[in-house]
Amino acid sequence: MPLVLNAAAVQADIFARLKPRIQKLKRAPGLAVMLVGRDAASEIYVRSKIKACAELGMVSEKVAPPLESTTEQLLAIVHELNARKDIDGILIQMPLPKHVDTRRVLEAVAVHKDADGFHPENVGLMVSGRPAPRACTPAGVMESLRYHKIKMDGANAVVLGRSDIVGKPMALMLLQENATVTICHSRTKNLPEVCRRADILVAAIGRPAFVTADFIAPGATVVDVGINRINDAAVAARLGRAEEFASKGRAVVGDVHPLDVARVAGAYTPVPGGVGPLTIAMLMANTVELAERHQA
């Protein structure tokens, strides 16, 4: 039977390490989350983040400008949050509306309040191996691999996807643990063959069940970062999600075929529940680290 890398125990371990650090601070860390509009999925994510703050004894504030807000209006809100002494970390919930200049808004967040680890200066610090907030999803994946004692030193790692949010920082973090890293994308030739060389395969390509058995070396560790909603009953049935679809009218799968990965891999993350909770845990960790710097 393969090892299932479930996030619950890893998240609990991260929270246990954060609580004494929070208790030592003069004031509770403060996290502001900006959610533009009323996107249902984004609202669920924001509620999860606020709940995690409450569990840890942190202060959270939801800022909810209307959907029609302009780039300049959002920038003004970010600048106000940058100036507040009680806010240690700022998170801009993605995606922003199409009419908004997302890059300008994200880069307006002060470097020392960048809870998501997206600011170019913090990315540069990470590249050079210096302390900085790290992108939350890949940082959470690294915590899971360490917790489950997955060997990274000397491993062949393949990252499928090259986004700034997951793929690129994931590759850098694995490289810093002495893995030999290959980044794949839509233009990669012989993609299944390249992925089959991996001892550790991270799928972050945004295509439901794209990674099938022929991508996975027997016994490999497979990390599935994808979250994809299936609205077709027949597709859900082929992916082993018929019961979920029957009860909810939809099903959720990752970027990896759920039946294939359970059959071939030596260890894998389930979807949902394998990576998402760790993204939230690392957001908390980044915010605590920023609060410690502000109160030093």
**Closest among 79, 80, 91 to 53, alpha carbons compared:** 91
Does this chain's domain 26-115 share its CATH topology with 136-275?
Answer: yes
Candidates 11, 49, 114, 255; catalytic one: 49
Fold (topology level) of 136-275:
Rossmann fold (3.40.50)
What does the alpha-carbon distance between residue 193 and residue 37 come to, in Å, rounded to a whole number?
Answer: 43
Instruction: Show the DSSP H helices in 24-67 as ranges.
Output: 40-56
Q: What is the pLDDT of residue 135?
A: 95
Residue 149 burial (C-beta neighbours within 10 Å; 0-12, 13-18, 19+): exposed
Candidates 88, 114, 116, 255; catalytic one: 116
DSSP state of 100: S
Candidates 93, 114, 199, 255; catalytic one: 93
Active site residue 23: no
- Tens of pLDDT, residue by residue over 165-194, are 999 999 999 999 999 999 999 899 999 999
Domain spans in the chain, listed from the N-terminal domain onward: 26-115, 136-275
Active site residue 13: no
Active site residue 214: no
What does the alpha-carbon distance between residue 243 and residue 70 come to, in Å, rounded to a whole number?
Answer: 43
**Closest among 230, 241, 243, 219 to 2, alpha carbons compared:** 219
The class that CATH gives domain 26-115 is alpha beta
The helix (H) or strand (E) run that includes residue 290 is helix 276-294
Q: What is the pLDDT of residue 41?
A: 75
The segments of the chain whose pLDDT lies below 70 read none
Q: What is the pLDDT of residue 186?
A: 86
